[in-house]
A and B are shown apart, each in its own frame.
Chain A
Amino acid sequence: MIEGIMIGLGTALTLQNLLFVMMGCLVGTFIGMLPGLGPMSAIALMIPIAASLDPSAGIILMAAVYYGAIFGGSTSSILINAPGVASTVATSFDGYPMAKQGKAGKALAIAAYSSFSGGVIAALFLLVAAPFLASVSLSFQSTDYFALMVLGLVAVSAFAGKGDMIKALLMTVIGLMLSTVGTDQTQGVPRFTLGIIDLIDGISFLLLVMATFALSEALMAILRPKGDADRKKEKEASENLGSMKVSRAEVREMAPVIGRSSVLGFLIGVLPGAGATIASFLAYGTEQRIAGPKKGAEFGKGSIRGLSAPETANNAAATGSFVPLLTLGIPGSGTTAIMLGALIGYGIQPGPRLYVDQPEIFWSVIVSMWIGNIILLVLNLPLIPYIAKVLAIPSRFLLPLILFFSLIGVYFVSFNTFDIQLMVIFAVAAVILRVLDFPMAPMILGFILGGMMEENLRRALLINNGSWSFLWERPLTVTILAIAAACLLLPFLTGWLRRVKDRAYEKTSSSGD
């Protein structure tokens, strides 16, 4: 392992790669702060640039952009109560009240320290867990992979939150359907190409991500322009940050919160499908309960703990989601799905073999997480007062730039004008779906898992001479499928239990009268 870390350090600490980390952190923070643009769009915009670099440098750049974007998202949550992505919604609960009390600088500093700690601690867990899981996963056969992907798809929908489950499932199905377009990976037969030769190779992943994230988010921002009052608020918030100092007592208050939230965030991040959003809400809720009635009552009014917990957890979860990506080749979240797409673009197949075949990539990803977090702290924190000025840039300058970069980014990879047309079609469809509150991430996950899922299922069927018996005969497969079933049924089950309990309670209370 020490040897591995040295390999990673050797790769990550070259001057060129350090420059990429710095650039990535800055660009990521910048993009992450823009309303509506989150880590997924930020990474998607980087793919065309990363494609021209060698794999290690490309991944380091993307990891840096990722962390930068998360930090940028927290910044806009705190300053203007406008979380760029779902995973920083919980940050705004206490961050924005702090900013309103004139302690914006302090809130930003706490967010930065918490993200840093969460990321660094989780990367340490990753260091230990990944090689272990990689060695275990060497015994995973096609049937087990199929079961794991079912679990991943089910989990992302199950954790989507109340009422959104059906929408998330529907989007997952759309993703699965889109993944079947093009030449199938088992028999080489073109499917659903509508006779269009450009569709024979399938829909490009980059194209789909750029269209449904970067492009459609920019279009949404045009559709829902901000009023003058909002703009004034943003301008004020970016000008008066206040002191960024954190006192010793506050550090002492934060430390245990950070410790607990790191572990929680990492574990949730490892689960396929559950990601930074759930981790941040869970950590927030858990800390509120642990804080007790007195301190807990401060939550939502500018509590340090309430800010620190979700910030730590979302970063730890982001790191945790790299565990299934690096060891099983299965993306646990929308963001890691994009990373997977980029890795495959390099001809790298993440999975149990990555650790053995390309240790320099495996380790440079882990090491770059540390470096990314450190750079974020030492470089971005002092620069925050200046970066915050981004919020004052009128969107009529920003949005055309985003439109331009996302279209040109896709074109520069394929050099096929058909891709641009397809992109616009997808972007318009995505805008309609967004207006109707359909989430995009399950679609992306469905798209990337769909192809793999089908391949593994068909391979399992071939190996078993067409028999489905492997679904219940292989213990590992059965176990994973059982967990998937539990994930799908749990929300209904708890709801049902609660109703039963309530009814029982009503009965006892009414009989007591």
Chain B
Amino acid sequence: MMKMTKAAFVAATIAASGATMVQADGHQVVDSIHFLVPGGAGGGWDGTARGTGEALTESGLVGSATYENMSGGGGGLAIAHLIETNDPGVMMVNSTPIVIRSLQGVFPQSFRDLTPVAGTIGDYAAMVVHSDSEITDFGQLLEMFDADPTALNIGGGSVEGGMDHLVAAMVFQAAGGNPSDVKYIPYDAGGEAMAGLLTGEIQALSTGFSEAIALANQGEVRILCVTSAERVDAAADVPTCAEAGADGMEFVNWRGFFAAPGISDEQVNAYRDALEAMYETEAWAAVRDRNGWVEIWNRGEDFNAFLENQEQVIGDLMRDLGFL
């Protein structure tokens, strides 16, 4: 579904041409990038854009980076703006919600109206329980669900029909259950949902893997399964959801970049080359480690195919759950 291997830096990928692209010292790939952030300062999108921009400029791959925050409409304002201005010098950051929100009709556009540049970082999802919980593995959780789904409260840090809910529904669906039986309890944020787990008002939590691993290392939670295709090095004893009984379950919450619909192939490929080369730089390693990001790499056509697949899977599930 998603390639985890870091792309090797190949000098030959530096293909630079066009007005805003230069090849100054055989290193710089793009002259300048204007990052469009669909949310306010300080959010997840903002951090991704600024972190990526920092790595790109400090490593010299990009001459200079500027940023523009445009919040509103659940990200819809920025999408409309990018389409309307059709400025090839702009790269917009986005993530899984662009798929979910366009399915929900929050905004009329979808990723198809833009030019997908690449998926750059991501996070798997995980099912966790409190470390004192009597539930020790995913099989037991499944037994509880099969016995009485109304007695099993599964929390998450998103709204009903949001990402954490969809992941929980996908997991139980893959394990043979009815996804609309999943009793999902929404919290405002992952931290609040964690507090709910501690007070015992929810028995399990659907959350991001990076958040889960931090809490597991503190000894507060037990991770039942992770939604990656293969076990993750950072927690080798945690089974994937697929091997724990949710057949074929895979999910990754990606973050990536989009360009204007009318951008030339040359220019968008220069962006992709710059991002691909970025993985090998020290500047990126520093930014990545500081933020605890997991690298994924999904370029151009692969990214498009991935988005289409995700839209299909999530769309079907949301229809099953009655959200569409």
Give A residues with C-beta under 8 Å from B. 51-52, 138-142, 183-188, 190, 197-198, 200-201, 345-347, 349, 351-353, 357, 413-416, 418, 452, 455, 459, 462-463, 465
Asked if B40 CB lies within 8 Å of chain A CBs, one says yes
Contact B195 A188 (CB under 8 A): no
Interface size on B, residues (CB 8 A): 39
The listed residue (B43, B188, B201) touching A455 by CB distance below 8 A is B188
Contact A198 B73 (CB under 8 A): yes
Q: Which residues of B contact A418 (CB under 8 A)?
A: 72
Q: Which residues of B contact A357 (CB under 8 A)?
A: 191
Q: Which residues 190-220 of B have a CB within 8 angstroms of A?
A: 191-192, 194-196, 198-202
Q: Which residues of A contact B22 (CB under 8 A)?
A: none
Contact A138 B198 (CB under 8 A): yes
Asked if B41 CB lies within 8 Å of chain A CBs, one says yes
Q: Which residues of A contact B71 (CB under 8 A)?
A: 201, 414-416
Q: How far is the CA of A345 from the CA of B42 in the complex (A)?
A: 7
Q: Whose C-beta in chain A lies nearest to the C-beta of B106? A: A200
8 further contact pairs, Cβ within 8 A, besides A187-B160, A187-B186? A140-B199, A141-B200, A142-B196, A183-B74, A347-B42, A353-B195, A463-B185, A465-B150
Known pairs A197-B76, A200-B76; A415 contacts B42 (CB<8 A)? no
Give chain A nearest CB distance to B258 CB in angstroms. Answer: 19
Contact B161 A188 (CB under 8 A): yes
Asked if B77 CB lies within 8 Å of chain A CBs, one says yes
Q: Mark B67-82, 1 if CB is under 8 A from A, else 0.
A: 0111111101100000
Q: Which of A184, A185, A352 has the most CB of B within 10 A?
A: A185
Number of A-B contacts (CB under 8 A): 102
Q: Which residues of A contact B70 (CB under 8 A)?
A: 415-416
Contact A188 B104 (CB under 8 A): yes
Give chain B nearest CB distance to A65 CB in angstroms. Answer: 19
The listed residue (B69, B104, B161, B187) touching A459 by CB distance below 8 A is B187
Contact B68 A188 (CB under 8 A): no
Give chain B nearest CB distance to A204 CB in angstroms. Answer: 8
Contact A142 B76 (CB under 8 A): no
Contact A197 B195 (CB under 8 A): no
Listed by A's residue number, 5 A-B pairs whose Cβ atoms lie within 8 Å are: A187-B161, A200-B76, A415-B69, A452-B188, A465-B150
Q: How far is the CA of A51 from the CA of B46 in the complex (A)?
A: 13
Q: Which residues 86-122 of B have a CB within 8 angstroms of A?
A: 104, 106-107
Asked if B144 CB lies within 8 Å of chain A CBs, one says no
Q: How far is the CA of A141 from the CA of B185 in the complex (A)?
A: 13
Contact B185 A462 (CB under 8 A): yes
Q: How far is the CA of A415 from the CA of B37 in the complex (A)?
A: 11
The listed residue (B41, B183, B198) touching A462 by CB distance below 8 A is B183
Asked if B189 CB lies within 8 Å of chain A CBs, one says yes
Q: Which residues of B contact A413 (CB under 8 A)?
A: 40-41, 69
Q: How far is the CA of A115 from the CA of B73 in the complex (A)?
A: 45
Q: List 8 tightest A-B contacts by C-beta distance, closest first.
A: A188-B159, A197-B73, A141-B201, A349-B191, A198-B72, A187-B160, A415-B69, A141-B199
Q: Which residues of A contact B162 (CB under 8 A)?
A: 188
Q: How far is the CA of A42 from the CA of B268 in the complex (A)?
A: 46
Give B residues with C-beta under 8 Å from A. 40-43, 68-74, 76-77, 104, 106-107, 150, 153, 159-162, 183-189, 191-192, 194-196, 198-202
Q: How would you classify the secondary structure of chain A's contact residues: helix, strand, loop or mixed?
A: loop
Q: Whose C-beta in chain A lies nearest to the C-beta of B191? A: A349
Contact B73 A459 (CB under 8 A): no
Q: Whose C-beta in chain A lies nearest to the C-beta of B74? A: A200
Q: Whose C-beta in chain B lies nearest to the C-beta of A345? A: B42
Q: How far is the CA of A80 from the CA of B70 in the complex (A)?
A: 45
Q: Which residues of A contact B76 (CB under 8 A)?
A: 197, 200
Q: How far is the CA of A138 from the CA of B200 in the complex (A)?
A: 10
Q: How far is the CA of A415 from the CA of B72 in the complex (A)?
A: 10
Give chain A nearest CB distance to B81 CB in angstroms. Answer: 11
Q: How far is the CA of A418 from the CA of B76 in the complex (A)?
A: 14
Q: How far is the CA of A190 from the CA of B105 in the complex (A)?
A: 11
Q: How far is the CA of A51 from the CA of B40 in the complex (A)?
A: 11
The listed residue (B69, B150, B191, B198) touching A414 by CB distance below 8 A is B69
Contact A139 B195 (CB under 8 A): no
Contact A139 B199 (CB under 8 A): yes
Give chain A nearest CB distance to B97 CB in angstroms. Answer: 10
Contact B195 A351 (CB under 8 A): yes
Give chain B nearest CB distance to A157 CB in angstroms. Answer: 25
Q: Which residues of A contact B159 (CB under 8 A)?
A: 183-188
Q: Whose C-beta in chain B lies nearest to the C-beta of A138? A: B198
Contact B187 A197 (CB under 8 A): no
Contact A138 B188 (CB under 8 A): no
Q: How far is the CA of A418 from the CA of B73 in the complex (A)?
A: 12
Q: How far is the CA of A349 from the CA of B77 in the complex (A)?
A: 27
Known pairs A141-B199, A414-B72; A198 contacts B77 (CB<8 A)? yes
The listed residue (A140, A186, A351, A352) touching B160 by CB distance below 8 A is A186
Known pairs A188-B160, A188-B161, A459-B185; A346 contacts B72 (CB<8 A)? no
Contact A51 B41 (CB under 8 A): yes
Q: Which residues of B contact A138 (CB under 8 A)?
A: 195, 198-199
Q: Which residues of A contact B195 (CB under 8 A)?
A: 138, 351-353
Q: How far is the CA of A413 from the CA of B191 in the complex (A)?
A: 24
Give chain A nearest CB distance to B107 CB in angstroms. Answer: 8
Give chain B nearest CB distance to A281 CB in angstroms. Answer: 36
Q: How far is the CA of A418 from the CA of B81 in the complex (A)?
A: 14
Q: How far is the CA of A52 from the CA of B69 in the complex (A)?
A: 14
Give chain B nearest CB distance to A128 CB in angstroms. Answer: 23
Q: Which residues of A contact B104 (CB under 8 A)?
A: 188
Contact B73 A200 (CB under 8 A): yes
Contact B186 A186 (CB under 8 A): yes
The listed residue (B42, B150, B201) touching A142 by CB distance below 8 A is B201
Contact A349 B161 (CB under 8 A): no
Contact A353 B191 (CB under 8 A): yes
Contact B73 A201 (CB under 8 A): yes
Q: Whose C-beta in chain B lies nearest to the C-beta of A187? A: B160
Q: Which of B150, B153, B200 has the most CB of A within 10 A?
A: B153
Q: Which residues of A contact B202 (CB under 8 A)?
A: 463
Q: How far is the CA of A141 from the CA of B199 in the complex (A)?
A: 6
Q: How far is the CA of A185 from the CA of B165 in the complex (A)?
A: 13
Contact A185 B199 (CB under 8 A): no
Q: How far is the CA of A51 from the CA of B41 in the complex (A)?
A: 8
Q: Which residues of A contact B150 (CB under 8 A)?
A: 465
Known pairs A200-B73, A201-B72, A416-B77; A349 contacts B189 (CB<8 A)? yes
Q: Which residues of A contact B77 (CB under 8 A)?
A: 197-198, 416
Q: Which residues of A contact B192 (CB under 8 A)?
A: 349, 351
Q: How far is the CA of A347 from the CA of B44 in the complex (A)?
A: 9
The listed residue (A184, A345, A353, A465) touching B194 by CB distance below 8 A is A353
Q: Whose C-beta in chain A lies nearest to the C-beta of B189? A: A349
Q: Whose C-beta in chain A lies nearest to the C-beta of B104? A: A188
Give chain B nearest CB distance to A308 CB in angstroms. Answer: 41
Q: Whose C-beta in chain B lies nearest to the C-beta of A329? A: B192
Q: Whose C-beta in chain B lies nearest to the C-beta of A412? A: B41
Q: Which residues of B contact A415 (CB under 8 A)?
A: 68-71
Q: Whose C-beta in chain B lies nearest to the C-beta of A451? A: B188
Q: How far is the CA of A138 from the CA of B132 in the complex (A)?
A: 15
Contact A190 B42 (CB under 8 A): no
Q: How far is the CA of A455 from the CA of B195 in the complex (A)?
A: 15
Q: How far is the CA of A201 from the CA of B107 in the complex (A)?
A: 12
Q: Which residues of B contact A462 (CB under 8 A)?
A: 183-186
